[in-house]
């Protein structure tokens, strides 16, 4: 529910922030449902991501000043609110020229995409990657970041009524190939691999049958990284894939990566992503904005099937 709260007093190292925009991500929904691996003590403000503007800083704050744009450095801050007092260490500054929706959606999906593209296989220009959930926030970021580094993408989506429009939109982002889950078993896949190499990296945000079918096209000794499970079904791997092709299955959780790395590592990654935004190589995912008072409508829309537009709360 929407509630009015009194702001705490600004402490020595605290920052008063006017929140501007915050997305609704699947992890936010799972936290509210109580099914996520990270749960905030109740009562809690929801929202793990967003962008705000600094209004005031405590006397001990060194790196931030009024007027700066900031995003959370970690999950669990509670961004679905108009104002907040945060510790300086929990925030990262982003350049003021980053578009609002880009900044609001920068800290989770693009970071996840960048880490998965760089941490598991040494990809070089001309290599390829295959991913499902290609129309998701992560999927759209993978397409754009891969394009920027010269890596080709094979993008798997579910069949849907507006498939031609979706294919066109993903291709406009830089997708090399867009196929449906059903096409993964068809001869057209052989045609794709006549012009590009088999991928050594597969990115899985779905689980279930989609994962098993995608594995068929992974290069021997390639790696599949699972970062989501939208189908709510287990990852099933044929024994032959392990024995005869020695594929590797890994998992990735951006929150754990943040726990394992210092704030400077996060800041450097965000800076690299901001540079891509400034060069026009990375844009916000398809978004629909809603005022905070319409949060119920935004939540309902974010849980609809075949959702290709991220709901953003304007604060």
Tally Cβ neighbours within 10 Å of residue 275. 13
Output the six-digit token pair for 169.
């939109």
When divided into structural domains, the chain yields a total of 2
Residue 304 and residue 221 in one domain: no
| Boundaries of domain holding 64 | 14-105+284-314
Structural domain contains residue 263: no
Q: What SS3 string covers 228-289?
A: CCCCCECCCCCHHHHHCCCCEEEECCHHHHHHHCCHHHHHHHHHHHHHHHHCCCCCCCCEEE
Pick from 208, 152, 146: nearest CA to 181: 208
Residue 98 and residue 148 in one domain: no
Q: Residue 51: what pLDDT?
A: 98
Q: Residue 126: what pLDDT?
A: 97
What is the distance between the alpha carbons of residues 60 and 15, in angstroms, rounded to a whole number?
A: 10
What is the distance between the alpha carbons of residues 69 and 255, in angstroms, rounded to a whole number?
A: 22
Structural domain contains residue 278: no
Categorize the per-residue pLDDT at 305 as very low, low, confident or very high, splitting at 50, 70 and 90: confident
What is the distance between the alpha carbons of residues 76 and 47, in angstroms, rounded to a whole number?
A: 7
What is the distance between the alpha carbons of residues 197 and 219, in angstroms, rounded to a whole number?
A: 9
Output the six-digit token pair for 24.
């609704």
Q: Which of 213, 236, 254 is the last residue of a domain?
A: 254
* 93-109: average pLDDT: 97
Residue 142 CB contacts under 8 Å (≥ 6 apart), including other chains: 113, 116, 117, 129, 131, 134, 153, 203
Residue 205 and residue 237 in one domain: yes
For residue 36, indicate whether it is catalytic: yes
Categorize the per-residue pLDDT at 304 as very low, low, confident or very high, splitting at 50, 70 and 90: confident
Helix axes 263-278, 109-119, angle to 10 degrees: 100
Q: Residue 208: what pLDDT?
A: 94
Q: What are the pLDDT digits (tens) for 161-202? A: 889 999 999 999 999 999 999 999 999 899 999 999 999 999
Residue 132 and residue 21 in one domain: no
pTM: 0.95
> The CATH number of the domain where 244 resides is what?
3.40.50.720
Local structure of residue 183 (DSSP, 8 states): G
Query: Taking a C-beta distance cutoff of 8 angstroms, is the pair 156, 179 a contact?
Result: yes
On average, the pLDDT of the chain sits at 95
Residue 226 and residue 139 in one domain: yes
Phi, psi torsion values for 79, nearest 5 degrees: -100, -5
Residue 171 and residue 292 in one domain: no
Q: Residue 210: what pLDDT?
A: 92
Structural domain contains residue 194: yes
What is the distance between the alpha carbons of residues 281 and 267, in angstroms, rounded to a whole number?
A: 19
Query: Taking a C-beta distance cutoff of 8 angstroms, is the pair 35, 106 a contact?
Result: no
Structural domain contains residue 9: no
Catalytic residue (one of 10, 29, 30, 36): 36
Output the six-digit token pair for 247.
């594929």
Q: Residue 308: what pLDDT?
A: 72
* 81-108: average pLDDT: 97
Categorize the per-residue pLDDT at 235 as very low, low, confident or very high, splitting at 50, 70 and 90: very high
Local structure of residue 199 (DSSP, 8 states): P
Categorize the per-residue pLDDT at 215 as very low, low, confident or very high, splitting at 50, 70 and 90: very high
Residue 203 and residue 299 in one domain: no
Structural domain contains residue 47: yes
Q: What percent of the chain has pLDDT over 90?
A: 94
- Report, in angstroms and rounded to the nearest whole number, the Rg of the chain calculated over CA atoms: 20
């Amino acid at each position: 529910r929407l509630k009015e709260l009194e702001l705490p007093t600004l402490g020595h190292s605290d920052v008063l922030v006017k929140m501007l925009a915050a997305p609704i991500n699947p992890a936010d929904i799972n936290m509210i449902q109580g099914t996520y691996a990270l749960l905030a003590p109740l009562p809690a403000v929801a929202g793990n991501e967003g962008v705000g503007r600094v209004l005031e800083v405590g006397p001990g704050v060194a790196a931030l000043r009024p007027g700066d744009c900031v995003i959370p450095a970690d999950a669990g801050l509670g961004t679905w609110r108009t104002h907040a007092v945060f510790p300086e260490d929990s925030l990262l500054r982003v350049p003021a020229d980053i578009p609002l929706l880009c900044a609001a959606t920068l800290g989770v999906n693009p970071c996840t995409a960048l880490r998965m593209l760089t941490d598991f296989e040494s990809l070089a220009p001309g290599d390829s990657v295959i991913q499902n959930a290609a129309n998701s926030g992560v999927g759209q970021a993978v397409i754009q970041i891969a394009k920027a580094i010269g890596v080709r993408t094979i993008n798997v989506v579910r069949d849907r009524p507006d498939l031609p429009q979706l294919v066109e939109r993903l291709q406009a982002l830089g997708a090399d190939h867009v196929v449906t889950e059903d096409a993964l078993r068809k001869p057209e896949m052989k045609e794709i691999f006549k012009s590009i190499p088999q991928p050594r990296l597969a990115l899985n945000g779905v689980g279930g049958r989609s994962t098993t079918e995608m594995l068929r096209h992974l290069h021997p000794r390639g790696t599949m990284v699972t970062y989501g499970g939208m189908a709510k079904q287990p990852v099933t791997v044929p024994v032959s894939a392990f024995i005869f092709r020695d594929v590797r299955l890994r998992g990735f959780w951006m929150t754990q990566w943040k726990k394992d790395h210092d704030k400077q590592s996060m800041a450097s990654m965000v800076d690299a992503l901001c540079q891509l935004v400034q060069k026009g190589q990375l844009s916000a995912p398809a978004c629909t904005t809603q005022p905070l008072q319409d949060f119920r409508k935004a939540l309902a829309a974010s849980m609809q099937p075949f959702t290709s537009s991220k709901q953003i709360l304007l604060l």
